[in-house]
């Protein structure tokens, strides 16, 4: 959609600045009251959700022109959706995230490109992954595991590892562990191996919509050919794009799409996965943006005035996945879950999203350190997440901080509790 389709959203902004804060009735302390990494770090209104809308309106009405400086402000943003979730508490008629996405598409159309993102997109086109790693090595993470190759035989469950899990050596045990949990529970699982491609969601977020559509088409045909009934991914980004972006682009996958935390929850409930071993630590859980507020399923478009839009079609962030990971953590013998101040749809971003990790890694680390400080303020001994991008940036930030807190994925903890791994192997 062109930027002009969001004119009413941009004109509707009342400059109240609520998009910079956790909604006021949810604030527990001033230390952790802010929600937007971009405005927190740069402290100029233009960097906030509202500021970007004002810039968009100014360009649309011809009062200013896009330039490199404006493009940089637009991209120094994790696209975490926190501004949108806060604005929606007070306003029904503004879809802030959609405006931010549209501004990026506008930057690409007008040729205002970020060098690091151009390199990422070039690598994506060449090797079909966000990390620019060789395509023919994509399936190596699963080496030696008794999993089906969906290019040769059908399987009930298609496991989609995603780009980061396919290549990040530090996270290899986690993605192998996620697959092992499914196999341990007796599920009939297949992977696409070297034929798996990027979901295309990050390309969409960077403003490269044609590439995103190509990867969605590719994924759709692979899923159809696999005859799988369920798609499971341990990547929160992929999950959000399959559930929201794909149907919005008219490419809904004809299978049930689940994040690994939902599957683990189901397997515990059905008794097919048993937590036998204890994990006696105080845990806190970080809601990945793409599993939480950005992980809401697509519910359809509303063509009339947004003031008349029913609550069920409003993308408020409340319909994301919040309980499944927490239920898994609550099922751990000996563990205790303590919550941070900014949680669920008002969670602080890990810092890695929206192309920030690729273009502005210092900013990503800064945001991750802020979250680790929040986790440490609870007294937690381990910060648990459910996304490889969170895991990557939290681990790097914790190392720089010499932080005395374990950084783990929910899969790591589950592996210990079912007895596949020993605590000493993980931490």
Q: Which of 22, 32, 37, 348 binds ligand SF4 (CB under 6 A)?
A: 37
Task: Give the CA distances from residue 138 to residues 132, 193, 220, 267, 277, in Å, rounded to whole numbers and listed in that order.
Answer: 11, 6, 19, 28, 33
As measured in angstroms, the least distance from the Cβ of 311 to ligand SF4 is 17
Per the structure block, which two tokens stand in for 268? 């515990």
Q: State residue 11 phi and psi, 5-degree precision.
A: -70, -25
Question: Residue 82 or 257: which CB sits closer to ligand SF4?
Answer: 82
Sheet holding 406-409, edge to edge: 336-337, 282-285, 382-385, 406-409
As measured in angstroms, the least distance from the Cβ of 390 to ligand SF4 is 14
Residues 157-196, interacting with ligand SF4 (CB under 6 A):
none
Q: Residues 59-78: x/- map of binding to ligand SF4 (CB under 6 A)? A: ------------------xx
Question: Residue 17 or 110: which CB sits closer to ligand SF4?
Answer: 17
As measured in angstroms, the least distance from the Cβ of 387 to ligand SF4 is 16
Neighbouring CB atoms inside 10 A of 306's CB total 16
Q: Which of 19, 240, 267, 390 binds ligand SF4 (CB under 6 A)?
A: 19
As measured in angstroms, the least distance from the Cβ of 53 to ligand SF4 is 6
As measured in angstroms, the least distance from the Cβ of 16 to ligand SF4 is 4
**How far from each other are the two terminal CA atoms of the chain, in whole angstroms?**
47
Question: Residue 279 or 389: which CB sits closer to ligand SF4?
Answer: 389
Closest to 252 (Cα-Cα) out of 242, 240, 261: 242
Task: Give the CA distances from residue 160 to residues 107, 133, 151, 249, in Å, rounded to whole numbers and listed in that order.
Answer: 31, 17, 13, 20
Of 17-25, 174-182, 327-335, 419-427, which segment contacts ligand SF4 by CB under 6 A? 17-25
As measured in angstroms, the least distance from the Cβ of 123 to ligand SF4 is 24
Q: Does 224 bind ligand SF4 (CB under 6 A)?
A: no
Of 34-42, 147-155, 176-184, 193-201, which segment contacts ligand SF4 by CB under 6 A? 34-42
Q: Does 15 bind ligand SF4 (CB under 6 A)?
A: yes
Q: Which of 7, 17, 214, 377 binds ligand SF4 (CB under 6 A)?
A: 17
Compute the CA torsion angle 205, 123, 164, 221 (nearest 10 deg). 70
Residues 75-134, interacting with ligand SF4 (CB under 6 A):
77-83, 87, 91, 94, 96, 100
Question: Residue 36 or 249: which CB sits closer to ligand SF4?
Answer: 36
Length of the chain in terms of residues written? 427
How many CA atoms lie less than 13 Å away from 389 in the CB half-sphere?
30
As measured in angstroms, the least distance from the Cβ of 178 to ligand SF4 is 27
Question: Residue 81 or 355: which CB sits closer to ligand SF4?
Answer: 81
# of chain residues touching ligand SF4 (CB under 6 A)? 27
Question: Residue 49 or 317: which CB sits closer to ligand SF4?
Answer: 49
Please calculate the CA angle 289-377-235 and round it to the nearest 5 degrees: 25
Q: Does 50 bind ligand SF4 (CB under 6 A)?
A: yes
As measured in angstroms, the least distance from the Cβ of 340 to ligand SF4 is 17
Secondary structure in 3-state letters for 135-186: HHHHHHHHCCCCCEECCCCCCCEEECCCHHHHHCHHHHHHHHHHHHHHHHCC
Question: Residue 4 or 14: which CB sits closer to ligand SF4?
Answer: 14
Q: State residue 259 phi and psi, 5-degree precision.
A: -85, 155
As measured in angstroms, the least distance from the Cβ of 358 to ligand SF4 is 15
Question: Residue 48 or 166: which CB sits closer to ligand SF4?
Answer: 48
Round to whole Å and give the CA distance between 260 and 232. Answer: 6
Say if residues 347 and 82 touch (Cβ distance below 8 Å): yes
Say if residues 173 and 187 touch (Cβ distance below 8 Å): no
Question: Residue 3 or 183: which CB sits closer to ligand SF4?
Answer: 3
Q: Does 261 bind ligand SF4 (CB under 6 A)?
A: no
Round to whole Å and give the CA distance between 360 and 78. Answer: 10
Round to whole Å and give the CA distance between 368 and 358. Answer: 14
Question: Residue 31 or 126: which CB sits closer to ligand SF4?
Answer: 31
Closest to 228 (Cα-Cα) out of 150, 149, 297: 150
Question: Residue 16 or 225: which CB sits closer to ligand SF4?
Answer: 16
Site residues (CB under 6 A) for ligand SF4?
Answer: 13-19, 35-38, 48-50, 53, 77-83, 87, 91, 94, 96, 100
């Amino acid at each position: 959609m062109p930027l002009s389709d969001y004119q009413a959203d941009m004109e509707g902004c009342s400059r109240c600045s609520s998009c910079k804060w956790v909604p006021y009735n949810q604030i527990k302390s001033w230390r952790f009251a802010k929600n937007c990494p971009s405005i927190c770090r740069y402290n100029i209104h233009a960097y906030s959700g509202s500021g970007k809308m004002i810039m968009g309106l100014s360009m649309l009405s011809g009062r200013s022109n896009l330039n490199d400086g404006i493009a940089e402000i637009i991209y120094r943003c994790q696209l975490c959706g926190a501004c949108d979730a806060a604005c929606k508490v007070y306003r029904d008629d503004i879809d802030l995230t959609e405006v931010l996405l549209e501004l990026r598409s506008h930057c690409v159309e007008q040729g205002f490109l970020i060098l690091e993102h151009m390199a990422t997109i070039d690598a994506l086109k060449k090797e079909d992954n966000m990390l620019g790693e060789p395509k023919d090595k994509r399936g190596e993470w699963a080496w030696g595991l008794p999993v089906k190759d969906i290019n040769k035989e059908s399987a009930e469950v298609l496991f989609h590892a995603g780009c980061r899990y396919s290549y990040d050596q530090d996270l290899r045990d986690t993605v192998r562990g996620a697959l092992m949990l499914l196999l341990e529970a007796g599920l009939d699982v297949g992977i696409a191996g070297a034929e798996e491609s990027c979901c295309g969601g990050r390309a969409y977020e960077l403003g490269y919509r044609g590439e995103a559509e190509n990867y969605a088409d590719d994924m759709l045909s692979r899923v159809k050919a696999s005859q799988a009934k369920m798609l499971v991914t341990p990547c929160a980004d992929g999950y959000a794009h399959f559930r929201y972006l794909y149907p919005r682009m008219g490419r809904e996958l004809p299978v049930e799409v689940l994040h690994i935390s939902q599957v683990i929850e189901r397997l515990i409930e059905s008794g097919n996965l048993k937590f036998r071993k204890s994990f006696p630590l105080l845990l806190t859980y970080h809601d990945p943006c793409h599993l939480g507020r950005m992980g809401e399923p697509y519910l359809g478009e509303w063509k009339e005035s947004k003031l008349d839009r029913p609550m069920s079609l409003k993308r408020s962030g409340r319909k994301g996945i919040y309980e499944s990971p927490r239920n898994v953590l609550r099922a751990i013998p000996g563990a205790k879950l303590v919550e941070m101040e900014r949680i669920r749809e008002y969670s602080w971003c890990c810092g890695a999203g929206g192309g920030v990790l690729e273009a502005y890694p210092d900013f990503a680390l800064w945001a991750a350190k802020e979250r680790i400080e929040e986790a440490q303020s609870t007294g937690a001994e381990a910060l648990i997440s459910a996304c490889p991008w969170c895991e990557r940036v939290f681990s790097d930030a914790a190392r720089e901080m010499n932080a005395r807190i374990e950084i783990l994925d929910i899969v790591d903890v589950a592996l210990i509790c079912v007895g596949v791994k020993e605590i000493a192997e993980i931490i």
